[in-house]
């Protein structure tokens, strides 16, 4: 499920049918499950809808989260 990782981020292959973050019923999403399994706090950089599968970028540090969010906001990161 983890495609690549470094000290700042994880790239994960999110399967369709699993939410990125917890849903309104309290069911954990992929990020919460990974955080629990890995024993580290993780930050969502962007989301994919529950029905959509694909590569999800997750920050491992607050600084990486800020930098990656900035890259998406400034359209420096591309999604295909």
Residues marked active site are found at 49
Contacts of 44 (CB under 8 A, 6+ apart): 20, 21, 31, 58, 59
Q: 26: buried, middle or exposed (CB in 10 Å: 19+, 13-18, 0-12)?
A: exposed
């Amino acid at each position: 499920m983890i495609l690549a990782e470094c000290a700042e981020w994880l790239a994960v292959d999110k399967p369709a049918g699993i939410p990125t973050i917890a849903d309104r019923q309290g069911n954990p999403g992929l990020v919460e499950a990974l955080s629990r399994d890995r024993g580290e706090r993780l930050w969502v950089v962007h989301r994919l809808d529950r029905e959509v599968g694909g590569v999800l970028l997750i920050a491992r540090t607050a600084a990486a989260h800020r930098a990656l969010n900035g890259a998406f906001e400034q359209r420096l990161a591309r999604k295909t």
